[in-house]
Structure 1
């Protein structure tokens, strides 16, 4: 009889590959088809080895198929057989355990206060039901993923979020979204996902006051600026305070954001306090950090500088500056220049006096003077006075030792004149002294003369030595009026003079016969000796005098 075919042997090389809730089965043809071609392959699934209660599922004449609808983490047993016309062949069995996706434990919705120094949002842990799987937790997405870090199981902001300045992708919603993923190393690797929403809430925050200044100096204007993270600030008041090592005290005039340092602030630290309202609260206060100690500055210029001119000098006088710059005035200084120069010389220290006399100035020269106060900070601003022209004393021109002959008619000694180098000055020439001043006069034309002609034989000078002393001065009307002086010594000389004969009659009256006439000789030159006499008579009828012969001797 004809040989009958038999069912095939089991498929060879059966293997399984776990997939997500499924398994891929692959095999090869059986070693023997039993004498009839394989018509189809079939499989069935069980939960225990050798325990297959379900129906066979045909897959056609293919050598692979996928079994779906399985439970992750479960172990399945699958057997596959070939079928020919003789019947069902032998089955081959394979076991497979499906990988379970890991899960993430932690809050999906978190409420988080802004500006928290500890930036941890929460703890998140990944777990996997498969023994031996290694699970990795990471940030894999979310609109705001770049703002977060994951260290171990702690999810944290990279920087504390600021409610008033949100950086979330939603734009001012203050809701930050980040996606965490847990991935295992199973076959196939599977992932669990958790989308976390972090809602940032507002916190009442203190304002900050900053002062725009480096090291403050007297005269500087300090400006206080208030910032408050809560925003919408309405400042109700400012108060500046100062302290010199002790408690701070209010500055009465420091009630605005800007404050100009006064001299009394030197050496003190300052701070500013703002009282204000914001959108979170009212009546809030914020105080700045103290400044460095305020530095003194040089004084302002001395006030009321005046100059009084003298003979080759100028007396300067002034008052203290309006401001000492915050440090006591140590001294005052002055220096000078001429009209053609600049202030280039050294300062002259006059101590703490408010006056100084500058001497040895040149008459006719124009001067300028400047004065400054000096404190520990430096020399201050200068006060200037000028131009000041120094008055030049006039001079008297004429002989200082004239010789004058006695009995000269008019008694003129000589001409004298006064001159002054200052343009516009009026000069007066006068007799002001000398032992014999009362014996002289000077006319408007400058002629010095004896009031009465001197007599050599009868000197009227103070020394009775025919040497007459008189002092002439020339005085101008400059500032101050100055005087030039000339001491004049007049030496009177003798002049040959004619003697005078006087006749006396005895008895007195008209001469008569028998009367005695007596002749007496007087000569201003004095020292008369060797006198001889000769009487003469003039006839009554006229004619010249004729010697009387016996009237001589």
Structure 2
């Protein structure tokens, strides 16, 4: 892909005209190094001054973008925002503005400052300094997210609608690996000129935040900067599945990638931007600090005819591919403008664009002296805390070879080599560099000796080892969750944050007394900022409450020492679930027969606010069909039970209650045993008139729950109620009876009894 793109560029772009090569430096030459401050912060100020001068020539610059000067990703991501705000990029230390920054803001009457990154990158104390500056009216913070990929998306959203690719109607974004910062540096001028966001990806997978933004912003084309060693072949198909066209600008290394990006930049001339052949920027591709803020200025252009391209180099010289490209240009070629001092881009690299490679090259083999010869990577990069660096091979006539490190050269005593494997003797620490210069760049010389007679030793083979900061220096775990997994979180159950017990993941963790903890919650980490849990305190434990239902929770290590490292959050827990309700009430109830109401039950729910609706259900039990339960939790019989009914007088029913949470949760079944008790109220019979008269009808009425239904009535009479001999009347039985003349002088009674 890269080769095809380079070929198309070379066929489309005309060579610069002779007149374009006649350079008027207007009093400024590369020897003066206009963009070389005492440190990266002053260099950024020098770049910003020129940027603002360019803006003020036609407009009024009143805004700057402030990013971390130690977390190098953020200033590189801010280029598209710089275009949107017409603002330069300044760098700051985490806890204090660098010297000269406040004066710059006052001198240029800067009213608005946009801070990129959370307090772990640019602290609140820096924001306080900004607010205290007389000219500053407003300070806004964006990019308060957990990962750099999410911060890149936050910046892209703040930069507004993405621009189109080179004369097309395709909204486009650059995509670079989170760790491949040189590639982000080279696309900066184009990103500014065209208004293209710079997004981040992993080696093999596109982060969810990046994928979501591509769809949200309607990105039609993604241009990957870097070869498959930084953005693997698995990424383009994943992007294509999102409906995105994918191009790649990727060379064999960062230097060739910068050349391919430059060729694409040139090919875009007249199609969305103008490319100016007058100047060409040169940035150290192994130490990018001087080029962090350069993208916007180069996007404006160092000359007057358009944008300025950028190439990467190292201290020893240009790569062969870049040297050949520049040598093939007609005329004297563009003026090379270095960013940084001579320690970053030496004069001999700039003057005459330097030799193709300034590093020593091993002398060729001599027929009379066939010394063994070493091959391998002269410029390896390793992550701190790793011992192995790389394996080197030897070509020679011997059978046994002895490897040695020159302890008297450079940082030699820190290394050992065995069978070609070069290693550190002890793990390097990025925060405490052990090299002579204290810049995490280690110089070592190795040799190899064969077993011929006499033995022959190779020429010195110099290796420059760059130690880089670990991308995830301190792993925080919650409740001992396995790496990469989320701990469960439940209301009322304590969470405990600890550092990983894996030595590979806890070397950068702070010592006791050097840190506090901060607990945060978030209902949607993909689109919402994290919120401090004010009741959690600053300890390593936290017990989720009802307020956390539906949120994920994380613990953050907060360093308490000055000039400390960025904060380290844990992985979020699983979302705190809505706990199911429970039921409060009597599960063993006794009621009198013929009574309908059994008992009233109350829902207990820690996850739903008081007053939310609950739904009650009769969900089971041997006698479920005989019961019902109201919306208020009142359990009752559908019909009053009868103790004398042949069924057992202990009824079984199960009830449940469902809350109004999201999602709704249902309690466990609550079993209730209902015992029906006999009323023990005998049946009595009343007669309507206790002074009966012949010919007047008497009515009998049963009283009491024990009266039989239906029953049989029998009217009886007797002459002697004290010593009765009751005789049935002649009239058939029933609840009514009309006395006759035969009853005169008798006492009457009525009897109700069960039907046999």
Question: Given the two structures, how large is their TM-score scaled by the length of structure 1?
Answer: 0.41
Greater fraction of residues in helix? 2
Rg larger for: 1
TM-score under structure 2 normalisation? 0.32
